[in-house]
Amino acid sequence: MDIFWAFVVGGLICVAGQLLVDLTKLTSARILVFFVVLGCILGGIGVYDRLVDFAGAGATVPLPGFGNLLARGVKRAVDERGLIGVLTGGFTAMAGGVTVAVVFGYLAALVSSPGMKD
């Protein structure tokens, strides 16, 4: 059942993104930025975690989930270290995911070349 709700909620968040593409002509980069900031704000006020409880990966995997991860990280860091945590929480939360993407993105660039179409 949790797989079904992940599908539905994740799909709906993507539909929201698609509507922004089709109706506002915003570029995908702007939509991603908007979603991350939105997720961070909703995470900050504690709303997004309720969606995560309900939809699991359907809420964490779309980009607003990335924003929520940053909010959760910074709140945890502030709890542990006070104001210093403001400087470390966001980056600490995204460290693992960004590192994986950078390392494997780099390797992909080394072994693959732009001319390799089909």
Partner 1 sequence: MKEQMYEEMVNAGKPKSAVLQNCARAFLVGGIICAVAQILYNLLMSAGFTRDDTGLLVAAILTVTTILLTALRIYDRVGKFGGAGSFVPITGFANAIAAPAIEHKKEGLVLGVGAKMFLIAGPVIVYGTLASVIVGIIYYFVR
Interface with partner 1 in residues 20-39 (CB under 8 A): 20-23, 28-29, 31-33, 35-37
Which residue type sits at 105? G
What's the rounded Cα separation, in Å, for the pair 62 and 98? 15
H/E element holding 9? helix 2-24
Q: Are 21 and 31 in contact (CB under 8 A)?
A: yes
> Which residues lie closer than 8 Å to 56 by C-beta, 6 or more apart?
2, 5, 6
Based on CB atoms, which residue is closest to partner 1, 50 or 86?
86
Size of the site for partner 1 (CB under 8 A): 83
Answer yes or no whether residue 48 interacts with partner 1 by CB under 8 A.
Answer: no
* Tokens standing for residue 97: 């995911």
Answer yes or no whether residue 56 interacts with partner 1 by CB under 8 A.
Answer: yes
Interface with partner 1 in residues 58-117 (CB under 8 A): 58, 60-63, 65-67, 69-71, 73-75, 77-79, 82-83, 85-87, 89-91, 93-94, 96-98, 100-102, 104-114, 116-117
Based on CB atoms, which residue is closest to partner 1, 21 or 50?
21
